[in-house]
Amino acid sequence: MAEATHHTDSFAQIANAITPANTLGIITHRRPDGDAIGSSIALAEALKEIGKTVHLVNEDEVPDTLRFLTGTESFHAAREIETPIPVDLIVVLDAAGHDRVGDGTWAAFRNHGPVINIDHHVSNNHYGDLNHVDTASPATGQIVFDLITASGWSLTSAGRDALFAAISTDTGSFRFPSTGAATYRIAADLVDRGLDVGHISQQLYESYPMRRLLLLRDLLQDMDIREGGRVVAVKLTLEMAESVGMRPGDTEGLIDVIRSIDSVIVAVFFEEMSDGKIRVSSRSKTPGIDVGRVCAVFGGGGHQLAAGARMKGPLEEAAERFLTEVAKRINGIN
């Protein structure tokens, strides 16, 4: 495997690029998750405090489940922007590639300056003019925390709560192996700054709409159990999504339910998209089964333990092809 030899720009270089800018765009990947939204809010808040004008634009809407965060009201859907907004630079957060953001979002700006790429995905291809990619970081929120504090910018209470949401959701509530001592220190720092852990955690993990559970019930009804329970998959059809009135973000974290089974080594979530493509999310519990490589077979990518791909439909055929590829590797570790 070819190791990336990319250069990473320092926080000082990034701050130096931001300092002369008056107006900035902050963008992130489509179908934004907690890390994408939380990192964006925290950075936007910090930059507004030093007098910048900040525009938050995304290809898709903020998921309902994250709307409790102060700052989410500042996001604009790309399709609502009729005239491109002139900006002095664009910061892209948590997006592994230029294409992860979406064409509509890029088209929402007339950018007169650099693109700053801040991310933690191993598959990041350093598409920015400045790039800070820290693959050891479990969340972009952790990098943004370090950028804000290293630059002497302020962390508002909205920024504090947003960063906790970012880091908590991307680490599976501080459980994933990438959760390091630095992650816990940042969390402690956020608590020192007045963060209400119980309140935010309840908002994040105990405030789901009923339809999400109805969807889970449907998914588990047809759970696909293979390789003696070592591989488990669920398949979300458009029909199932429609029947519960699924909204963006509803499926976030559902894969963890099947990953949590004791026998499971690989968990896979297949989702039929409206364009006929099949969105695949996969999780592995052991580096011995690298789901990043499985996804790469189908043009996707990610980490050893968490990766995704978009496959050609129909759903059952895509699932069969993907799970066959997983089975080959599962049988290889016996």
Q: How far is the CB of 225 from Mn ion (least distance, A)?
A: 30
Q: Which of 9, 26, 28, 35 binds Mn ion (CB under 5 A)?
A: 35
**Which one, 40 or 151, has the nearer CB to Mn ion?**
40
Task: Return the residues of window 103-132 that contact Mn ion according to CB under 5 A.
Answer: none
Compute the distance between CA of residue 206 and CA of residue 170 in angstroms, rounded to an integer. Answer: 17
Q: How far is the CB of 223 from Mn ion (least distance, A)?
A: 27
Give the count of residues interacting with Mn ion (CB under 5 A): 4
**Which one, 14 or 265, has the nearer CB to Mn ion?**
14
- What distances in angstroms separate CA 307 from CA 184, 301, 320, one per listed residue? 24, 6, 17
Report the residue count for the chain: 334
Contact 270, 319 (CB under 8 A): yes
**Which one, 140 or 281, has the nearer CB to Mn ion?**
140
Told to check if 88 binds Mn ion by CB under 5 A, we report no
**Which one, 21 or 302, has the nearer CB to Mn ion?**
302
Closest to 61 (Cα-Cα) out of 28, 25, 109: 28
Backbone torsions φ then ψ of 309, nearest 5 degrees: -155, 165
- Tokens 């402690």, residue? 188
CB atoms within 10 A of CB 106: 20
Compute the distance between CA of residue 204 and CA of residue 214 in angstroms, rounded to an integer. Answer: 18
Q: Which of 59, 94, 272, 290 binds Mn ion (CB under 5 A)?
A: 94
- Encode 124-161 in three state secondary structure: CCCCCCEEEECCCCCCHHHHHHHHHHHCCCCCCHHHHH
| Helix 34-49 / helix 140-150 crossing angle, nearest 10 deg | 10
The helix or strand, by DSSP H or E, that contains position 186, with its residue range, turns out to be helix 181-192
Q: How far is the CB of 287 from Mn ion (least distance, A)?
A: 19
Q: How far is the CB of 29 from Mn ion (least distance, A)?
A: 9
- What distances in angstroms separate CA 250 from CA 50, 238, 334, one per listed residue? 35, 14, 36
Q: How far is the CB of 292 from Mn ion (least distance, A)?
A: 15
Q: How far is the CB of 262 from Mn ion (least distance, A)?
A: 27
Site string for Mn ion, 161-200 (x = CB under 5 A): ---------x------------------------------
Which range touches Mn ion (CB under 5 A), out of 92-100, 186-194, 283-291, 307-315? 92-100
**Which one, 29 or 230, has the nearer CB to Mn ion?**
29
Q: How far is the CB of 94 from Mn ion (least distance, A)?
A: 4
By beta carbon distance, the residue nearest Mn ion is 35
Chain residues in the site for Mn ion (CB under 5 A): 35, 94, 140, 170
